[in-house]
């Protein structure tokens, strides 16, 4: 699978354009094009869209490597702090292959943390973060995610796009209609589902459908971090900073 840099190089060469010509069309320097093609810098989504319009390629094809490329740059930024650039390939392979191994940089201004599945840039100091522990909205959201029926319905909706009644959802998720309705109401408060009234033989019926499901990104990230935190594993390839982080 091609990286973003390799794909841009391929598209540029197909049009017989130099780095200078390509940069001129995008309004950036030739040096920036070289950096992109070497994967030392990342394209933002707006520039990807521009490249897509110019070359009549798909945005998805160019963007498919962005999460992996972004994470690799995160790892490079962390690893550069340890002055071990020659060992980066081994470091990256270890992080990619072993989910129990992580890497981290902790500082007063925030932290960087990454493992096989999750890369986190936390842009807040530990002292400034204590207030999160008293935030009622956060506790309510975590309580919702801890509900078994909520998780069952989220899993069902992740695979099904059609609107359904609470009774239909309940039958697919092995729960009662009342349990499904209660879980759906919690999801509605968090703007993950919405309702619509339809008439069936002049009888109004409430149907439920996905809403703002792009926010499942946060759900999966929270779950991944919670799983990592719960295991108690503390195996670092590289670690720098205060272990107390406070």
What count of Cα atoms within 13 Å lies in the side-chain half-sphere of residue 192? 21
CA distances to 103, 113, 148, 224, 235 from 238, rounded to whole Å, are 5, 10, 36, 20, 9
The DSSP bridge pattern shows strands 110-114 and 235-240 to be unpaired
Q: How far apart are CA 219 and CA 128, in angstroms?
A: 23
Residue that terminates a domain, selected from 64, 96, 113: 64
Asked if 48 and 59 count as a contact pair (C-beta separation under 8 A), the reply is yes
Looking at the whole model, is its pTM more than 0.75? no
Same domain, 60 and 99: no
Containing domain of residue 97, as a range? 68-129+225-240
Same domain, 235 and 189: no
Same domain, 50 and 162: no
Same domain, 105 and 80: yes
Q: How far apart are CA 198 and CA 216, in angstroms?
A: 27
Residue that terminates a domain, selected from 13, 41, 64: 64
Residue 27 lies in a domain: yes
Q: Where are the alpha helices (DSSP H) in 56-206?
A: 59-63, 66-80, 88-97, 126-129, 136-146, 148-159, 166-173, 177-189
**pLDDT tens string for the chain (246 positions)?**
566 677 778 878 888 888 888 877 776 788 878 877 886 555 555 566 666 666 655 556 666 666 777 788 778 877 777 777 678 888 888 988 988 888 888 888 898 888 888 888 899 999 899 999 999 999 999 999 999 999 999 999 999 988 999 999 999 999 999 999 999 999 999 999 999 998 877 788 999 999 989 999 999 999 999 998 898 778 898 888 877 876
How many domains would you assign to the chain? 3
Asked if 111 and 242 count as a contact pair (C-beta separation under 8 A), the reply is no
Same domain, 60 and 72: no
Residue 245 lies in a domain: no
Residue 219 lies in a domain: no
């Amino acid at each position: 699978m091609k990286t973003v840099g390799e794909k841009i190089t391929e598209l540029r060469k197909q049009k017989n354009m130099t780095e200078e010509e390509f940069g001129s069309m995008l309004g950036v320097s030739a040096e920036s094009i070289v950096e992109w093609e070497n994967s030392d810098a990342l394209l933002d989504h707006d520039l990807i869209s521009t490249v897509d319009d110019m070359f009549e390629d798909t945005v998805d094809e160019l963007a498919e490597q962005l999460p992996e490329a972004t994470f690799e740059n995160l790892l490079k930024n962390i690893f550069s702090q340890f002055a071990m650039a020659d060992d980066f390939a081994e470091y990256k392979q270890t992080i990619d292959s072993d989910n129990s191994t992580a890497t981290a940089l902790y500082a007063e201004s925030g932290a960087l943390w990454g493992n096989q599945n999750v890369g986190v840039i936390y842009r807040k100091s530990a002292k400034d973060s204590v207030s999160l522990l008293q935030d009622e909205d956060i506790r309510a959201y975590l309580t919702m995610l801890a509900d078994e029926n909520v998780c069952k319905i989220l899993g069902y909706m992740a695979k099904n796009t059609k609107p359904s009644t609470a009774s239909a959802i309940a039958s697919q998720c092995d729960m009662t209609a009342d349990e499904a309705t209660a879980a759906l109401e919690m999801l509605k408060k968090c703007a993950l589902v919405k309702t619509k009234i339809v008439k069936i033989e002049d009888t109004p019926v409430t149907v439920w459908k996905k809403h703002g499901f792009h926010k499942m990104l946060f759900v999966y990230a929270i779950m991944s971090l919670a799983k990592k935190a719960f295991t108690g594993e503390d195996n670092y390839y590289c670690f720098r900073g205060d272990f107390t982080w406070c």
